[in-house]
Amino acid sequence: MPMLAGAVEDRQRMLQDLGRCTPAGYLVRSTSALTDSLLGAGPVRWAVVAPNIQSTWNTALPFSMNDGTEWAGRGLTTTFTTGVRVEAGRFSATFAPQFVYQQNRDFLVFASGAAGRSDFASPWHSIGESADLPLRFGDQPTRLATLGESRAELNVGPMAVGGSTEALWWGPGIRNALVMSNNAGGIPQLFVRTARPIRTPIGDLEGRWLVGALTESIYFDRDPSNDVRSLSSFVATLNVAFDRGLTVGAARSVYASVSSGSAVFGHAFDAFGRWDQSSDSTRTPGTPTDQIYSLFGRWVFPASGVEIYGEWAKLFPPSGLRELVVEPQRGQGFTVGVQWVRPVRAASLLRTQFEATMLEQTPPALAAPVRSFYTSRLVPQGYTQRGQSIGAAIGPGSSSQWLAGDYIFGSNRAGLFVGRIRWEDEAYYRQPSSVAFFAHDVSIFAGIRGGASFYGVDLDLALQHTIRMNYLFQTATSGYAPSPAFDIRSNAIRMTITPINLRWR
């Protein structure tokens, strides 16, 4: 089964850049969208889901981005996915549970220190802008079984309705999606989506609306009455008629604390009807909810093998034109990127990628409260699923830059990458260590990656070396000269084995 952010999706994206298949529908992705229909003419068709194995080894510190259900802590982490698929007329279903083993070896973390919170809960998001983002998922090896990439749906004309726990990706980002990504495990949900593009005079419309139940991790607090939150989300894209290489879209999520799972359905239409969130951090809406929305686009130029893309997100609607003009950066985040694929000889390609994401917020004054992505002052767990951000993998208050290059020859590929992430920078200004100079928590990393396809599977391997500077904002200074006392070096090895199953429209 091809997984999100994997080799199958990557190959499809390059084919779109070269004009060999349409980019329509690519900005609303899921595992099932990457999977071909079953072959055969019988009334009921079924097949075993070929196993997918994802394994990561981190030597000194966790490094886990867009890993779905798993959190790749220190040591070995492995996720195994398999199951069965069934199709019968308009009905289709996949049962694909995931089994995760996390060695979770010891490393330095700070206890939360907040009353009623787990010691593993985030020390940066306990008061004010709160979120269920534990620094470590317990202190023991763990074994976890989930429904994983399971779903069931019924096609009704151009639409489909169903239920799912599979991961989703909305928007054009390669490394970061601001509203919906597979950085966390799939959200249990009921949904309505377009089963095929709806043709209109201005272009082809596609979309999805869901109502889901967000779950708190066991490493957040000790209050059993607030373990579930409602999630109401929609995404819509338009592949414009005047240029089929251009796709634009919008997405919005609204989430709220609820008393029980059944209360989730009372918030099904929040994404369309709740607009009372405000940039004013002291105002509380009648029914405490929080939100995030984005506008995005991707423009593919097949003649040159180039695509450009971007996503712009806001945490709340501006209070008026004056706020939008004077402080457009307030509650704002964005991702911009470019990919260039160039044929160099028969069956060989050169590919370059660049992406930058900015979620850092500028406080109006030193130590002043500021709204932050994926945290909330009204919903304690924030925009998370089982302790991981649903949106951008870098998390709240962070920024990142990424550059990569690959040589693809036949079914083989090899490349280099380099990147930088500044973690939780808003939290940095709230820490006592902020009086020290140059104490921002920053990772710089570089590595090699490659893969090969044989016997119907993709094998991908990546080796990465990371320098985490001022880990958790800790540093020792002498005047203006920082000490590397809290710089930590870590290596990572990541391997993925994925069955090849690619859908071209």
pLDDT at 261 over 90: no
pLDDT the model gives residue 432 = 53
Residue 55, C-beta contacts closer than 8 angstroms, at least 6 positions apart: 76, 77, 78, 79, 494, 495, 496
Q: Assess whether pLDDT exceeds 90 at residue 252.
A: yes
Residue 438 has pLDDT above 70, yes or no: no
What is the C-alpha separation between 443 and 335, in angstroms, rounded?
19
Q: What count of other Cβ atoms lies within 10 Å of the Cβ of residue 184?
A: 26
The helix (H) or strand (E) run that includes residue 53 is strand 45-58
Residue 194 has pLDDT above 80, yes or no: yes
Distance CA 69, CA 79 (A): 8
Which residues are CB-contacts of 191 (< 8 A; sequence separation ≥ 6)?
153, 161, 162, 163, 164, 208, 209, 210, 211
Record the pTM: 0.93
Angle made by CA atoms 490, 495, 496, in degrees to the nearest 5: 145
pLDDT at 320: 75
Separation between Cα atoms, residue 68 and residue 406, nearest integer Å:
25
For 153, 181, 357, 358, 389, the CA distances from 395, given in Å and listed in that order, are: 32, 12, 11, 10, 6
Q: What are 30's strand-pairing partners?
A: 168
User: What are the backbone dihedrals phi and psi of residue 265, each rounded to the nearest 5 degrees, phi first?
Assistant: -70, -20
State what percent of residues in the chain have pLDDT above 70: 92
- List phi, psi (to 5°) of 264: -60, -40
- The average confidence (pLDDT) of the chain is 90
Higher pLDDT, 499 or 285: 499
pLDDT greater at residue 428 or residue 504:
428
CB-based contact 205:237 (threshold 8 Å):
yes
Query: Cα-atom radius of gyration of the chain, to the nearest Å?
Result: 22
Neighbours of 128 (CB within 10 A): 14
CA nearest neighbour of 216 among 257, 158, 171, 175: 257
Please determine, for residue 229, whether its predicted confidence score (pLDDT) is greater than 80: yes
Residue 351: pLDDT band (50, 70, 90) is very high
Residues 69, 181: Cα–Cα separation, whole Å: 12
> Secondary structure of the chain: what % helix, strand, coil (to 5)?
10, 45, 45
If you write DSSP's letter for every residue of 170-196 in order, what string do you get? Answer: ESS-SS--SSB-SSSPPPPEEEEEESS
User: How large is the average pLDDT for residues 208-235?
Assistant: 94
Q: Looking at per-residue confidence, does 250 or 21 come out higher?
A: 250
The architecture in CATH of the region 7-499 reads Beta Barrel (2.40)
Which residues neighbour 327 within 8 Å (Cβ) at sequence distance 6 or greater? none
pLDDT at 295 over 80: yes
| pLDDT the model gives residue 163 | 97
Given a contact cutoff of 8 angstroms between Cβ atoms, the answer to whether 124 and 135 are in contact is no
Q: Is 485 helix (H, G, I), strand (E, B) or coil?
A: helix
Q: Residue 474 above 90 pLDDT?
A: no
Judge whether 429 and 363 are in contact, CB under 8 Å. yes
User: 10 pLDDT exceeds 80?
Assistant: yes
